[in-house]
Amino acid sequence: MLKGIHFLLTYMCNLKCDICFVYSGPDAKGTFTLNKIKKVLNEATKIGTIEWVYFEGGEPFLFYPLMLEGIKIAHSMGFKVGVVTNAYYGISEQDADLWLNPLCKLKISDLSISDDPYHYEEEKDNPAKRVLAAAKRLGMPVHSIRIEKPIVRINNTKPKGEPVVKGGALLKGRAVEKLLEGLQKSRYDEFIECPEEDLKNPKRVHIDSYGYIHLCQGLVMGNMWEIPLSKLVKNYDANSHPICGPLLKGGPALLAKKYKVKHDEEYVSACHFCYIVRLALLDKFPKYLAPRQVYGLE
């Protein structure tokens, strides 16, 4: 049952982190308009099971007035609202209060702040910590997201598709380009399932300004500017999806075999192998593997 809609409000970000799943950065394209936000929220009400709406990116605070208006509308429609941010604006305690006060008045239900070595190295005092302290002073529901260096095996008891609060970086997006060195690898045929996402019954999806509905970053259900979101969700069948079907039956190993993708013998993780196979299939399935910029292209 789909419970959450996560807006990729923009792919633009003031930072260019090695762990970024979607290749965000200062030059990244793709930002929502207010009209598009309204269309998504109207479709979300038709689904009937959506409880949460998140605004993230990229960095949503780069488009602060748009984010605030989106929060107001989502809240007025009865959704619980969360925001994910790197807190770049926390230059001082006063500045942190200034930026957070409007969100506090809107009574958002969650503020998630990225604070890890990839965003601020090991600084004891940084913008994320200042914004975290300010949020606590204001009585806002807040927590830090801390992504550690990638590890080969993660004893992760969180349900598939739940947000990561703390854990090893997943090897997809820019992480594949930046973080592989020195990591232990395993044979490709060990990766026979998707350990991270519930592709059969997704609990949340991410939607970008191009209309793509992401089941996993770069793996999409469809495009809601072509087919309404509520209809796509209602008719979604993972087994008949050309990418999700093989992943459910046999993980990235089967996906590669089914489409005869040439590949290496060893990979660090299922995410790493899956990302490489999907990258090879971009031109074959442009409607289901998109947008290309999430794969570091264009």
pLDDT tens digit string along 95-116?
999 999 999 999 999 999 999 8
pLDDT at 150: 74
pLDDT at 165: 46
- Select from 218, 222, 208, 204 the least CA-distant residue to 173: 218
Tokens representing residue 279 in the block: 């990258």
Q: What is the pTM of this model?
A: 0.93
- Select from 142, 145, 134 the least CA-distant residue to 96: 134
**Residue 154 pLDDT level (bands cut at 50, 70, 90):** very low
Checking if the pLDDT of 162 tops 60, the result is no
**Residue 213 pLDDT level (bands cut at 50, 70, 90):** very high
pLDDT at 240: 98
| Average pLDDT of the segment spanning 14-43 | 96
Residue 162 DSSP code: P
Tokens representing residue 110 in the block: 């969650």
CA distance 276 to 270: 10
CA distance 267 to 273: 6
Tokens representing residue 254 in the block: 């089967």
| Average pLDDT of the segment spanning 205-213 | 98
**Contact present, 128 and 88 (Cβ < 8 Å):** no
**Contact present, 179 and 170 (Cβ < 8 Å):** no
CA distance 70 to 74: 6
| Average pLDDT of the segment spanning 40-67 | 98
> What are the residues whose beta carbons fall under 8 Å from the beta carbon of 42, sequence distance 6 or more?
none
| Average pLDDT of the segment spanning 5-19 | 96
**Residue 164 pLDDT level (bands cut at 50, 70, 90):** low
What are 54-72's pLDDT values in tens digits? 999 999 999 999 999 999 9
